[in-house]
Structure 1
Amino acid sequence: MMRSNHDSPYRWVVLLLCWAAFTMTSVDRSTWGPASAAVSDSLNVPLAALGIFATCYYIGYVVANAAGGFCSDWLGGRLTLGVTSLVAGGLMMLFGSTTSIGVGLAIQAALGLFAGADFSAGLKLVAAWFRPEARGFAAGVFMTATSLGTVVANAVVPGLIVNSGWETSYHLFGAVTIVIAILCLAFIRNGQYDGTSDAPARRAVPDVRPLRRNRDLLFLGLAGFGGLWGTYGFITWSNTLMVRGNGIDPVDAGVVVVIFAGVAIAAKPLVGVVTDRLGSGRRIPIAIILAAFGVTLLVFGTLDSYTAFLWVAPVLGLTAYAYSPLTAAMTPTLVGQHLTGSAAGAVNAFWQLGSVAVPAVVGPIFQLTDSFYAAFVTLAVGPLIGAAVMLRVRDDRPRTEAEASAARPSAA
């Protein structure tokens, strides 16, 4: 009898490589925050237009999530994750050599297009190799990538800019992304999604029509949209807002964001373990965390000193990231494993629309009002609405029902 994926020690290798790839694309994405002011000076980009670079990235990222999720179910997580990360690393290096605003915007859009498949491909692999009762922890570890990426970018990029220029950070992170992509292609195995074999995944074209009728998935998408509106709006604009709005030193602003994201590295697996142990659903915890996130953003917007920012940053980081492993772990439960990639890609694409819109909204609001607080009120609206919407989602389905759904092949 073949050993189940879920009992194999190799599942930790899969999780490690998925996490490493997701971490590097998160580093690549987060590099724009601390580098944006230097890019503005280098390419003569107006302050209000800086958010357009991030918006171009997230447009590509949204498209890639939907397409990447479908490809993960069709071609397998290994190929989807490895190839798209490989191209994303090359585009990072290319952006570090650009001297044109137009070319830079095009590269950012292409970079988002190839970096956006890592979430759905990684979650597909996690669902294949981990049991439902352990997915909260596995998703928590996997999702530390987004916060760790922010920590690395804000800890490393300001120093690189001072010593070598903003271009060096893009060249360095792009090269590391390429190396990890090659390791993923060499060492990851897809697994079989019934949990009984580690043979290569089937190549049948998935039938995604049931996703359109899944009401809970729609509400989960709306809630995540609001959450990422606040999270990535803060990541994209917090450095510039603290520097330009309150006169904080750029290196000190980077420290605040490092603390903000660093807290989440421990919080994500922890909240996953707690909800796994409780076994009472993830709907209410997600709603509570999103509401707390919105309130903390409002508090942060009232502050005006480096010391105050340091005190609030850990609480803000906890609430800004702790909901993400729960929303990720909830996705396979709502749809079954055979459509996990497509569902994760589709719902994350909708989540990322918040990331697309918010950079282009906050900049003009700050420039028009010259108000630090107005910018943070704008950020807080997203998670507060997300918390209200999350209450419309059902608690997790019973595991037996979810697993039965996963075992049934989709209709041709």
Structure 2
Amino acid sequence: MGTWFSASAVIPALTQAWQINAMQAVWLTASVQVGFVVGAVAAAALNLSDRLPPQMVAGYAALGAALSTAGIAIWVEGYLPAVALRVLTGMFLAGVYPVAMQLMASWFGPTARGLALGILIGALALGSALPHLLRGLDQLPWQSVMLTAALLSGAAAIIALTLIKPGKYAKSPGTEHRPKYALEMFRDIGPRLANIGYFGHMWELYALWTWLPLFLVAATSANEATAGIASFLTIGIAGGVGGLIGGWASGRFGRGRASAVAMIISGICCLVSPLFFNSSWPVMILLLGVWGASAVADSPVFSTALSEVADARYTGTALTTQTAIGFLLTLVTIQTVPMVAELIGWQYSFLILAPGPLLGAVAMRMYRQRVEGGREKSQISVQGSS
């Protein structure tokens, strides 16, 4: 996943090298989102990871992401070819992220699945943040940052193709082709609420991750290296810890309750972010630590919840559809945040992210009451009758 933000982490350097404007810089990240949505829709329509060995899908997709990212660093000398390769990177990543969740879920039953996916999401956050760290350390050339991300993706491809296999909870490849399930799952209350919660989460997360470095530069007058390291700590370290806590809490307190609490906290962070603008670094780091952890803590919960309430034969399709729509939403906020910043300043730019997690919390509270509550009543009824 380091390939995702490999260009975002070096936007200031690319702005100078290629003489691009602010809107063009937006599309160095937004193009990955576009590619991801296209790739995810195609994979869901084909039921790809439900009909083929998922580890092979993930392995070859990671290899494709590595090659398209390396291509920018080695061959590209201008903006448009870079955007085209970023779209291609996003298409390949649609075969990595949701398929990795499918594989992880296949190894664990309901009791341990939340924590397992929390570990996976924590690794995702850490990997996504690595380009910020690389850029922050010794101001590496932008080509070196992207090549490092590509090499890590290539290593992941080798691991997936040679060492990973589905677990005992996986359905055998060869499931009947059923593209309609991508939409049919929304008829059921469980998948519908789990997806709505995820969409609220995505409204906030990737816009926060994309624009946090520029927010910090504006708020603290930090240089690019300092903002990069602070972004790595927020996304990679705090986010990784948040994923672990969220996964554990979903098993301990229930999917709906754990995700709703995390979303309320991150929504509050959005709302109070203007108050922390121009604050000292210790105060800013405190906010970023809480925000970075809470913005990620709910992520493994949605994947866990959907893997439990969707048709088990089409878990991969359900997760891929969920991420496709979620990343489509990120296109809106990734483009809107810098527009708001230009109109009223970076101090208030993250306020528009608050409705997502707050509305998502409402959906997951309903999930707690109507899905988990109904399941608990059924279990009590069965125990009473026995």
Deviations 1:301-322 (A, max 9, x none): 3221351321211111121110
What residue number does 1:269 align with? 244
Question: CA 1:190–1:265 in 2, change beyond 3 Å: closer, same or farther?
Answer: same
TM-score, length basis structure 1: 0.82
What residue number does 1:238 align with? 212
Partner of residue 107 from structure 2, selected from 122, 129, 138: 129
Measure how far apart 1:64 and its partner are: 2.2
Give yes or no for the alignment of 1:100 onto 2:117. no
What residue number does 2:192 align with? 218
Give yes or no for the alignment of 1:66 onto 2:41. yes
- Stretches of structure 1 that go unaligned for 5 or more consecutive residues are 1-24, 196-200, 402-412
Partner of residue 202 from structure 1, selected from 166, 173, 183: 173
| 1:246-257 matches, cutoff 5 A | 246-257=220-231
Deviations 1:273-309 (A, max 9, x none): 233234xx31122122112101112222322135132
Question: CA 1:379–1:275 in 2, change beyond 3 Å: closer, same or farther?
Answer: closer
| Aligned residues: CA RMSD | 2.4
Measure how far apart 1:372 and its partner are: 1.8
Give yes or no for the alignment of 1:310 onto 2:281. no
| 1:388-399 matches, cutoff 5 A | 388-393=362-367, 394-396=370-372, 398=375
Deviations 1:324-350 (A, max 9, x none): 111111111111432110110011111
| 1:335-346 matches, cutoff 5 A | 335-346=310-321
Deviates more, 1:381-390 or 1:340-349: 381-390
Counterpart Cα distance in 1 of 2:167 and 2:361: 35
Question: What SS does the aligned partner of 1:30 have?
Answer: coil
Counterpart Cα distance in 2 of 1:328 and 1:136: 9
In the alignment of these two chains, the number of paired residues is 367
Amino acid at match of 2:279: S
Amino acid at match of 1:36: I
Deviates more, 1:293-302 or 1:98-107: 293-302
Partner of residue 6 from structure 2, selected from 31, 40, 43: 31
Partner of residue 46 from structure 1, selected from 21, 42, 47: 21
TM-score, length basis structure 2: 0.88
Native 8 Å contact 2:63 2:153 kept in 1: yes
Q: Identity percentage over the alignment?
A: 21
Counterpart Cα distance in 2 of 1:167 and 1:216: 45
Measure how far apart 1:194 and its partner are: 5.9
| 1:322-333 matches, cutoff 5 A | 322-333=297-308
- Stretches of structure 2 that go unaligned for 5 or more consecutive residues are 379-386
What residue number does 1:301 align with? 274
Deviates more, 1:377-386 or 1:321-330: 377-386
Partner of residue 63 from structure 2, selected from 86, 89, 92: 86
What residue number does 1:409 align with? none
Question: CA 1:275–1:184 in 2, change beyond 3 Å: closer, same or farther?
Answer: same
Question: What SS does the aligned partner of 1:188 have?
Answer: coil
Instruction: Give every structure 1 segment of 4 or more consecutive aligned residues whose post-TM-superposition deviation is greater than 6 Å.
Output: none
